Copies of this chain bind each other. A is one copy, B any other.
Amino acid sequence: MALQHDPRQNHLLASLPRDEYERLAPHLERVELTLGESLVESGMEMRHVYFPTDCIVSLLCVMEAGDSTEIAVVGAEGIVGISLFMGGETTPSRAVVQSAGSAYRLKGQLLKDEFDRASALQFLLLRYTQALITQMAQTAVCNRHHSLDQQLCRWLLLSLDRLPTNELVMTQELIANMLGVRREGVTESAGKLQKVGLISYHRGRIRVLDRPGLEARVCECYGVVKKEYDRLLSYQRPG
């Protein structure tokens, strides 16, 4: 690989026309994000937006009592901090690094300026937000109607789509936090998947062995979300 680290590993940045990208590029600052790190706290103003390149960030809704639910997941296809350009400045949800890796961040004001030029960036970010909305809606309906088994499959596949490898570093405890269920429930569901040979895991490392097998088990929610992302963000991996 010629360029080990390139902001354009993020699909939104990669989709920008050259001139727009070059206006932003000097201000993009590479950051290493570690597992569990929080990028956005509920209700806190944020200084930056983040363009993930090879990490995954979960958007969590946290209740007073402490229990939480993941409402969406963001990888290289997206951006963390949409409320900056949507106009609210803050959100009542958290953004937590679910898989360590790097991202490029940009000062909020710079993003806003570019956004307000009615630029290609604006077009991209709005479409991305629309895709994100679909993911959130589907998460809501999935929470309601589908079994933990299916939700775990959905979660694994959504994560896998955002990773270069087939291995995720993630304890069952953390997965339970994401899905908003008990740790024991995850143990049981993951145990089933392991038993039939779809995954294997060991102390916080999950390897997906049979992706088609997962896809056969997952509920329709995964497909709906994926289809909508593909439709809205027709991203072509750079040659």
* Chain A contact residues, CB within 8 Å of chain B: 59, 61, 63-64, 67-69, 71, 82-83, 85-88, 91-93, 116, 118, 123, 126-127, 129-134, 136-141, 143-145, 180-181, 220, 224, 228, 231-232
**Contact between A87 and B220, CB atoms less than 8 A apart:** no
Q: Return chain B residues, CB-CB under 8 Å to A93.
A: 134, 137
Q: Return chain B residues, CB-CB under 8 Å to A224.
A: 92
**Contact between A127 and B69, CB atoms less than 8 A apart:** no
Given the contacts A118-B116, A118-B118, A232-B88, A140 and B136 also touching, CB distance less than 8 Å:
yes
- Per a CB cutoff under 8 Å, which of B92, B116, B129 touches A228? B92
Count of this chain's copies in the oligomeric assembly: 2
**Contact between B87 and A144, CB atoms less than 8 A apart:** no
A136 to chain B, nearest CB (A): 5
**Contact between B67 and A145, CB atoms less than 8 A apart:** yes
**Contact between B87 and A140, CB atoms less than 8 A apart:** no
CA distance A139 to B92 in the complex (A): 13
**Contact between B130 and A83, CB atoms less than 8 A apart:** yes
- Which residue, A68, A130, A180, has most C-beta atoms of chain B within 10 A? A130
**Contact between B92 and A127, CB atoms less than 8 A apart:** no
CA distance A83 to B132 in the complex (A): 12
**Contact between A87 and B143, CB atoms less than 8 A apart:** no
18 A–B contact pairs at CB < 8 A? A61-B137, A63-B141, A71-B140, A83-B130, A88-B127, A88-B131, A88-B231, A91-B134, A92-B134, A92-B137, A129-B133, A132-B133, A133-B133, A133-B136, A136-B136, A136-B140, A140-B143, A144-B181
CA distance A43 to B60 in the complex (A): 27
CA distance A6 to B177 in the complex (A): 48
CA distance A130 to B91 in the complex (A): 8
CA distance A61 to B132 in the complex (A): 14
CA distance A129 to B131 in the complex (A): 13
Q: List 9 additional contacts besides A63-B141, A67-B145, A143-B144; criterion CB under 8 Å.
A: A61-B140, A63-B145, A63-B220, A82-B130, A88-B131, A116-B118, A132-B133, A140-B143, A143-B143
